[in-house]
Protein backbone atom coordinates (compact mmCIF):
# COMPACT_ATOMS: atom_id res chain seq x y z
CA UNK A 1 0.00 0.00 0.00
CA UNK A 2 1.52 3.30 -1.06
CA UNK A 3 1.03 6.53 0.82
CA UNK A 4 -0.35 9.48 -1.05
CA UNK A 5 2.00 12.43 -0.83
CA UNK A 6 0.31 15.79 -0.61
CA UNK A 7 1.93 18.69 -2.36
CA UNK A 8 2.52 21.73 -0.17
CA UNK A 9 0.32 24.75 -0.82
CA UNK A 10 2.15 27.61 -2.43
CA UNK A 11 0.00 30.43 -1.11
CA UNK A 12 2.71 33.03 -1.44
CA UNK A 13 4.16 31.81 -4.72
CA UNK A 14 4.58 34.42 -7.41
CA UNK A 15 1.96 33.96 -10.07
CA UNK A 16 3.02 34.59 -13.65
CA UNK A 17 0.14 35.29 -15.98
CA UNK A 18 0.59 34.35 -19.62
CA UNK A 19 -1.96 35.22 -22.28
CA UNK A 20 -3.72 32.17 -23.65
CA UNK A 21 -3.22 33.40 -27.20
CA UNK A 22 0.20 34.78 -28.02
CA UNK A 23 0.34 38.43 -28.98
CA UNK A 24 4.12 38.44 -29.50
CA UNK A 25 3.77 39.08 -33.24
CA UNK A 26 1.01 41.68 -32.89
CA UNK A 27 1.70 45.38 -33.08
CA UNK A 28 0.96 47.33 -29.95
CA UNK A 29 -2.39 49.13 -29.95
CA UNK A 30 -2.64 52.19 -27.71
CA UNK A 31 -6.04 52.87 -26.10
CA UNK A 32 -6.73 56.24 -24.47
CA UNK A 33 -10.47 56.14 -23.79
CA UNK A 34 -10.15 55.59 -20.03
CA UNK A 35 -7.08 57.55 -18.92
CA UNK A 36 -7.14 58.72 -15.32
CA UNK A 37 -7.26 62.51 -15.47
CA UNK A 38 -7.19 63.02 -11.70
CA UNK A 39 -4.76 62.33 -8.91
CA UNK A 40 -1.00 62.35 -8.60
CA UNK A 41 -0.42 60.10 -11.65
CA UNK A 42 -3.01 61.76 -13.89
CA UNK A 43 -2.51 61.38 -17.62
CA UNK A 44 -3.24 64.98 -18.56
CA UNK A 45 -1.46 66.86 -21.38
CA UNK A 46 -1.61 70.09 -19.37
CA UNK A 47 0.86 68.69 -16.81
CA UNK A 48 3.98 70.84 -16.60
CA UNK A 49 6.14 67.69 -16.42
CA UNK A 50 4.67 66.11 -19.59
CA UNK A 51 6.58 66.83 -22.80
CA UNK A 52 3.73 66.07 -25.21
CA UNK A 53 5.87 66.23 -28.35
CA UNK A 54 8.40 63.71 -26.98
CA UNK A 55 5.61 61.54 -25.58
CA UNK A 56 3.77 61.39 -28.91
CA UNK A 57 7.00 60.56 -30.79
CA UNK A 58 7.60 57.62 -28.44
CA UNK A 59 4.02 56.37 -28.68
CA UNK A 60 4.24 56.46 -32.49
CA UNK A 61 7.53 54.54 -32.33
CA UNK A 62 6.07 51.89 -29.98
CA UNK A 63 2.94 51.47 -32.10
CA UNK A 64 5.07 50.42 -35.08
CA UNK A 65 6.63 47.58 -33.08
CA UNK A 66 5.37 44.17 -32.04
CA UNK A 67 4.84 43.11 -28.44
CA UNK A 68 7.68 40.62 -28.92
CA UNK A 69 10.05 43.43 -29.94
CA UNK A 70 8.94 45.51 -26.98
CA UNK A 71 9.34 42.60 -24.56
CA UNK A 72 12.94 42.10 -25.71
CA UNK A 73 13.96 45.71 -24.92
CA UNK A 74 16.48 45.51 -22.06
CA UNK A 75 18.47 47.90 -19.89
CA UNK A 76 20.82 47.63 -16.89
CA UNK A 77 21.82 44.05 -16.06
CA UNK A 78 19.60 42.69 -18.84
CA UNK A 79 16.37 43.78 -17.09
CA UNK A 80 13.25 44.34 -19.14
CA UNK A 81 12.41 47.98 -19.89
CA UNK A 82 8.69 47.27 -20.25
CA UNK A 83 6.98 44.75 -18.00
CA UNK A 84 4.05 43.75 -15.85
CA UNK A 85 4.02 45.17 -12.32
CA UNK A 86 3.11 43.10 -9.30
CA UNK A 87 0.59 44.74 -7.01
CA UNK A 88 3.06 44.33 -4.11
CA UNK A 89 5.65 46.45 -5.96
CA UNK A 90 3.34 49.46 -6.26
CA UNK A 91 3.60 52.52 -4.07
CA UNK A 92 0.89 53.14 -1.48
CA UNK A 93 -0.32 56.08 -3.57
CA UNK A 94 -0.64 53.87 -6.68
CA UNK A 95 -2.52 51.13 -4.78
CA UNK A 96 -4.87 53.71 -3.29
CA UNK A 97 -5.66 55.10 -6.76
CA UNK A 98 -6.25 51.62 -8.20
CA UNK A 99 -8.62 50.81 -5.35
CA UNK A 100 -10.43 54.16 -5.65
CA UNK A 101 -11.00 53.53 -9.37
CA UNK A 102 -12.14 49.98 -8.57
CA UNK A 103 -9.45 48.47 -10.79
CA UNK A 104 -8.04 46.01 -8.25
CA UNK A 105 -9.49 43.06 -10.18
CA UNK A 106 -7.10 43.98 -13.01
CA UNK A 107 -3.99 43.94 -10.80
CA UNK A 108 -2.37 41.17 -12.89
CA UNK A 109 -2.67 43.32 -16.05
CA UNK A 110 -0.82 46.42 -14.81
CA UNK A 111 1.95 47.13 -17.29
CA UNK A 112 4.75 49.72 -17.32
CA UNK A 113 6.15 51.24 -20.51
CA UNK A 114 9.54 52.91 -19.97
CA UNK A 115 9.95 56.17 -21.89
CA UNK A 116 13.34 57.19 -20.49
CA UNK A 117 15.45 56.68 -17.39
CA UNK A 118 12.66 57.59 -14.95
CA UNK A 119 9.52 58.35 -16.97
CA UNK A 120 6.85 55.65 -17.42
CA UNK A 121 3.38 55.26 -18.81
CA UNK A 122 1.35 52.83 -16.74
CA UNK A 123 -1.66 51.02 -18.11
CA UNK A 124 -3.43 47.71 -18.46
CA UNK A 125 -2.30 45.13 -20.97
CA UNK A 126 -5.26 43.52 -22.69
CA UNK A 127 -4.15 41.24 -25.52
CA UNK A 128 -2.55 43.45 -28.16
CA UNK A 129 -3.90 46.59 -26.52
CA UNK A 130 -2.19 48.82 -24.01
CA UNK A 131 -4.94 50.68 -22.16
CA UNK A 132 -3.25 53.86 -20.93
CA UNK A 133 -4.15 54.90 -17.38
CA UNK A 134 -1.37 56.91 -15.71
CA UNK A 135 1.70 59.07 -16.30
CA UNK A 136 4.66 58.51 -13.98
CA UNK A 137 7.45 61.00 -14.78
CA UNK A 138 9.58 60.16 -11.71
CA UNK A 139 9.28 56.34 -11.44
CA UNK A 140 7.09 56.60 -8.33
CA UNK A 141 4.18 54.34 -9.31
CA UNK A 142 6.33 51.27 -8.68
CA UNK A 143 9.53 52.70 -7.21
CA UNK A 144 12.74 50.71 -7.14
CA UNK A 145 13.34 49.20 -3.72
CA UNK A 146 16.70 49.21 -1.96
CA UNK A 147 18.20 45.76 -1.88
Residue 47 belongs to domain with CATH number: 3.30.2310
Residue 2 lies in a domain: no
Classified as helix, coil or strand, 47 is coil
| DSSP letter, residue 76 | G
What stretch of H or E contains 94? helix 92-100
pLDDT score of 101: 95
- According to DSSP, the residues that pair with 30 across neighbouring strands are 130
Residue 5 lies in a domain: no
More confident residue, 75 or 62: 62
More confident residue, 145 or 127: 127
pLDDT score of 10: 40
Length of the chain: 147
Q: How many CA atoms lie within 13 A of 17 on its CB side?
A: 14
Domain of residue 69 covers: 29-73+81-136
Residue 111 lies in a domain: yes
Residue 21 lies in a domain: no
Average pLDDT, stretch 104-124?
94
For residue 8, name the pLDDT band (cuts at 50, 70, 90): very low
Residue 11 lies in a domain: no
When divided into structural domains, the chain yields a total of 1
| Alpha carbons 98 and 40: distance in angstroms, whole number | 12
Amino acid sequence: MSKEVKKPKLENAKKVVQPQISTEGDKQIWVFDSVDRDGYFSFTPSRADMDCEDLLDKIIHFSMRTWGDIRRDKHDNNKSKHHFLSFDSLSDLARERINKLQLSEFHESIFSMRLNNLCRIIGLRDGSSFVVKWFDPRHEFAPMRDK
